[in-house]
Amino acid sequence: MSTWSYSLTVKNLTSPTTVRQYLSKHLWIPKHLIFALRKQQHVWVNEEYRPMSFSIKNGEKLRLTFVDHDFSLPVQNLIADNSVKPTILYEDDDVLVVNKPRGYKTHPNQPGETHTLLNFCEAYLNQSDQHAYMIHRLDQYTSGAIIVGKNPAVVPILVRLIKEKVIHRTYLAWVDGHFSKTSGTIDKPIGYDDDDKRKRQINGRNAKPAVTDYEVVQTKGNYSLVKLVLHTGRTHQIRVHLASLGHPIVGDPLYNDDDNDEMLLHSWQLKLIRPYYFDELNITSPLTEVMQKF
């Protein structure tokens, strides 16, 4: 049986609160895992078991323990593939931040599929009897920093931190043309493209709100390097938004008909919030050689 334990110091309370409230509101632990902690009596305060209604205050010691049967999917069904060694930008007991190369899918889509980033991470982590867990994804032709979980206890918290934009990601892209404004916000809903199932489009079918901030970093010839921050997480959001302004990403195989072979979109900087501890780490992924030379 696998177990994952966290020893924490209670902090950031303005008044005494219950264990349940602290787990939910401060540690972002979902209800089903709080239920598992209560059922298994796996919550300890100052080295004594305490019920969820117990009142705690700043400075007290909290210990949580999860076991594999607390999770519906304690191990994701990934085939280890050691043909490519992942480049690790950051690692601790719970989280990997990996530098994803352009051209590789983030995760397998079919049973038995290999040669994706998560397959490579699975092989790497199997060396220490651990497993890879998908947290978010990057498009196949996008490079840069991506978060991979190392146990099921951190997955729902990381997913929510990304969804709520507490974890910030900043991208860099080379695009066609010069902008009339050096910075701005693109606020255009994105939906499906009925003419091409691979693509998305502005105000397409089942469109959902999509917001992207951009800032021009430099210009070179007829191209611009832009810094981008997402406020929503729609499929192809950066690619569709930039193309809608008449500035498609260089080398984009779906939204640009140029002759460049490589799409120049890179997940550059990541503000990582570590689950349970909630400290902040700033991680930078080095630019690809093609982006540096462009």
At 227-257, the pLDDT tens digits run: 999 999 899 999 999 999 999 999 999 999 9
- Asked whether 128 and 151 are in contact (CB, 8 A), the reply is no
Alpha-carbon span 15 to 179, nearest angstrom? 50
Positive/negative CA dihedral, 169, 143, 146, 68? positive
- Asked if residue 76 has pLDDT above 90, the reply is no
Query: What are the tens digits of pLDDT across the range 140-161?
Result: 999 999 999 999 999 999 999 9
CA distance 117 to 125: 12
pLDDT at 3: 94
Find out whether 185 and 52 touch, Cβ atoms under 8 Å. Answer: no
Structure tokens at 77: 């069904």
Structure tokens at 220: 């070179």
What torsion, rounded to 10 degrees, do the Cα atoms 166, 25, 148, 75 define? -160
Specify burial of residue 50 (Cβ count, 10 A radius: 0-12, 13-18, 19+): middle
**One CATH from 3.30.70.890, 3.10.180.10, 3.10.290.10, 1.25.40.10 for 3-70:** 3.10.290.10
State yes or no: is 139 an active-site residue.
yes
Other beta carbons within 10 angstroms of residue 49's beta carbon come to 11
The pLDDT of residue 8: 96
pLDDT of residue 239: 97
Query: Do 184 and 235 meet the contact criterion of CB atoms below 8 Å apart?
Result: no
Q: How confident is the model at residue 16, as a pLDDT?
A: 86
CA distances from 185 to 182, 201, 245, 278 (A): 11, 17, 11, 29
Query: How many CA atoms are closer than 13 Å to the CA of 208, on its beta-carbon side?
Result: 9
Could you tell me which CATH number the domain at 170-267 has? 3.30.2350.10
Give residue 21's pLDDT: 97
Q: What's CA 220's distance to the chain center, in Å? A: 31
What is the structure's pLDDT at 128? Answer: 95
Instruction: Determine the residue type at 30.
Output: P
The pLDDT-based confidence of 278 (bands split at 50, 70, 90) is very high
CA distance 188 to 203: 7
Q: Please check whether residue 70 is in contact with residue 36, taking contact to mean a CB–CB distance below 8 angstroms.
A: yes
- Candidate list 70, 94, 139, 252, residue with the active-site label: 139
Residue of 244, 216, 212 whose CA lies nearest to 229 = 212
Q: 73 pLDDT exceeds 80?
A: no
Q: CA 155, 241, 196: angle at the middle one, nearest 5?
A: 85
Query: Which structure tokens are listed for 19?
Result: 């264990």
Which pLDDT score is estimated for 20? 97
**pLDDT at residue 261 greater than cutoff 90:** no
Q: What ranges do the domains of the chain cover?
A: 3-70, 170-267
Q: What confidence score (pLDDT) does residue 1 get?
A: 79
